[in-house]
Structure 1
């Protein structure tokens, strides 16, 4: 008998419920999630009307969510808290953009988790934001 699949994880982004697949399996070093920014989300009517973009706080929140999932991979229900540091923003995320959020274990002794938000464009991918997640255990 095979195990039931893990449930999707509800993630709330400024009042908008998103559903991301469950976190990675044990031993996984990277997790990616794709998101298409819907221009009809209420946040875009409020955040810079006439020039909508995803707020930086939302980008940080989504990168932190992934990093916490990756940090808790040893136990699916584990919650690892920490902080996203050294956050840099290079491009605005404007609807209807496609964005790939990634959390990757750094190949260093300190086990930091490097996070990126990559804007997928027809001419090539562009890193829109990056940061380093440090868990409370470090």
Structure 2
């Protein structure tokens, strides 16, 4: 996952051997996405955060097509360093998280959600 999304420059992601993919981005208030959301009080739109997480999740599960049970615990406000993660559990379910790095180096959860695929959705709802 690299390139641009909504004027956000994405750095290449790193795939780890433990079923985790990570990417880091440094939120910059000068990005075009912040010009309208919101002038003088920039916040990364929730849809943009979800799209970034879903793009990362597709590195683990190409069938990923959405997120569910998304929780927005903190706004993503620039300037900030954000670490995006997608992690597969033993059953293959993928969870995505956006973590904000604090000045003391700790990370706090900003956004978390579970990845939806057609296969997983059918198994859980009993539909074919």
Query: Same fold, TM exceeding 0.5?
Result: yes
1:11 Cα shift? 4.2
Q: Which deviates more from structure 2 when the two are superposed, residues 39-48 or residues 57-66?
A: 39-48
Partner of 2:114: 132
- Structure 2 residue runs of 5 or longer lacking an equivalent are 121-128
1:10 Cα shift? 3.1
Partner of 1:56: 46
1:43 Cα shift? 1.1
Aligned-pair Cα RMSD in Å: 1.9
Q: How many residues align?
A: 119
Residue aligned with 1:69, SS: coil
1:54 Cα shift? 0.4
- Structure 1 residue runs of 5 or longer lacking an equivalent are 1-8, 72-78
Note closer, same or farther for the CA distance 1:11–1:69 as it changes in structure 2 (3 Å cut): farther
1:17-65 per-residue CA deviation (whole Å, 9 max, x = no partner) reads: 43424x637x651011100011110111110111101000000001100
| d(CA) in 2 for partners of 1:10, 1:34 | 11
| d(CA) in 2 for partners of 1:19, 1:80 | 22
Q: Is the 8 Å Cα contact of residues 71 and 111 (structure 2) preserved in structure 1?
A: yes
Residue aligned with 2:2, SS: strand
TM-score by length of 1: 0.77
Partner of 2:126: none
TM-score by length of 2: 0.82
Superposed, 1:1-138 pairs within 5 Å as: 9-21=1-13, 24=15, 28-71=18-61, 79-107=62-90, 109=91, 111-123=92-104, 124-138=106-120
